[in-house]
Structures are given as C-alpha cells and as structure tokens.
Amino acid sequence: MRFLLSLLTAGFFLGCSNASGPLVEGRSTMPELIRELGQPSMIWSEGDGTLLVEFARIQHGGSNFIARVGRDGVLQNLQEALTDARVAMLLPGMTRDEVRRHLGQPSSTEVTAATEIWRWPLDSRTPAQWQVEAHFGARGKLEQVARTRIAPPRIPGLAARSAIQKDATQL
C-alpha cells in the first residue's frame, strides 16, 4: 500500500513538475521538494529535529501535501493530507495547529461569535462535491468534524430548465 501511494504521488509530481525527476523518500532533499512543489505554506520543527512541511495546493485545484524531512534535510515521508484516513485521525480537543498538521491549510474559514469553521474539499472533482468541516469552539479546540455535500451554485432559471428537460425525457 505504501509503495502504491509513493508511486501515485511520484506520478502526480511528474505531471506537475518542471524539474527533472520525481521525489523519492529517503533520497530527495528539501531544495528538491521546493523545486517540485513550490514554497511551503508552513513549516513546523519537531522535538527530534525533523521538520513537518506543508505544501498547500488547494487554491490551485490540487490537494495539500505534508512532508516529513529529517535533520539531514532528506525527505522521510510525503503524504497527501486530504484523505479519509487523515480526517479519521482528528479528535475532539485538538488545537487548530494540530488539525492543520493533519489536513494542511483549509480552503476556507468562517468565524462566528461562538465558533470557527475550517473547510477542505474531499474530492478531486471541479468543483468539489464533498468537503470536511472542522468546528472549533470559543477556546480554539476542535469540537466537531463533519463531512458535508457541497451544493452546486444556483443559477437563476437553471433549475426550471433542468426540471423541464427531466420531464421531457420521461414522456
């Protein structure tokens, strides 16, 4: 499974890259990561000297990627952040920073008096049809995670036309 994920990830980067080759865990360096994925949107330093590096690509129609880079500057692991498995790791009480380390930069945020909601698309369709929402309470702790269907934008007259076409095909 890990090999398949690495192979798919490498194929994705080959398709998006202007550089000479794919990223390879255990061999690629931080400068190669930046050349392939662009500037990181966030870098966290772990207690053991490794770096957790976020590459936010949602705004460009892609996904978020989280790379773990060793103290030696070599890529240890590269994962797509917006997967069901990573969403399942979110637990009530997590901080905003902990949630971002799992899913990367949200595509949108909404702040009200009592809550803050972060959203990420969950599918690669354009526009996305499913999203995950992280709801943070007044103390900044994760209270709820929800998967929601994204309603298509309403265009005046489109619904009526669609209904007419549907009725016409049933005759």
Residues 101 and 74 in one domain: no
Q: Whole-model pTM?
A: 0.72
Among residues 37, 57, 80, the one where a domain terminates is 80
Question: CB–CB of 122/128 below 8 Å?
Answer: yes
Q: Read off the amino acid at residue 68.
A: R
Amino acid at 131: Q
Phi-psi region of 62 (alpha: psi -120 to 50; beta: other; left: phi over 0): beta
User: Does one domain contain both 87 and 147?
Assistant: yes
| Complete DSSP assignment for 92-154 | TT-BHHHHHHHH-S-SEEEE-SS-EEEEEE-S-SSS-SEEEEEEE-TTSBEEEEEEEEPPPPP
Last residue of a domain, one of 54, 80, 106: 80
pLDDT string in tens for the chain (171-residue length): 343 334 344 444 434 433 446 899 999 999 999 999 999 999 999 999 999 999 998 766 668 999 999 999 999 999 999 988 999 999 999 999 999 999 999 999 999 888 999 999 887 666 667 889 999 998 999 999 999 887 766 666 555 443 333 333 222
Residue 170 lies in a domain: no
171 within some domain: no
- Answer for the pair 23, 36: CB distance below 8 angstroms, yes or no: yes
72, 24: one domain: yes
Residue 160 lies in a domain: no
115 in the same domain as 67: no
Q: Which amino acid would we find at residue 44?
A: W
Q: Dihedral sign, CA of 147, 136, 61, 46? A: negative
AA identity, residue 20:
S
Q: Which domain holds residue 57?
A: 1-80
CATH number at residue 117: 3.30.1450.10
Q: Is residue 168 part of a domain?
A: no
Asked if residue 141 and residue 108 are part of one domain, the reply reads yes
State whether 71 and 93 are in the same domain.
no
Q: Amino acid identity of 115?
A: T
The structural domain count of the chain equals 2
Inside any domain, residue 161: no
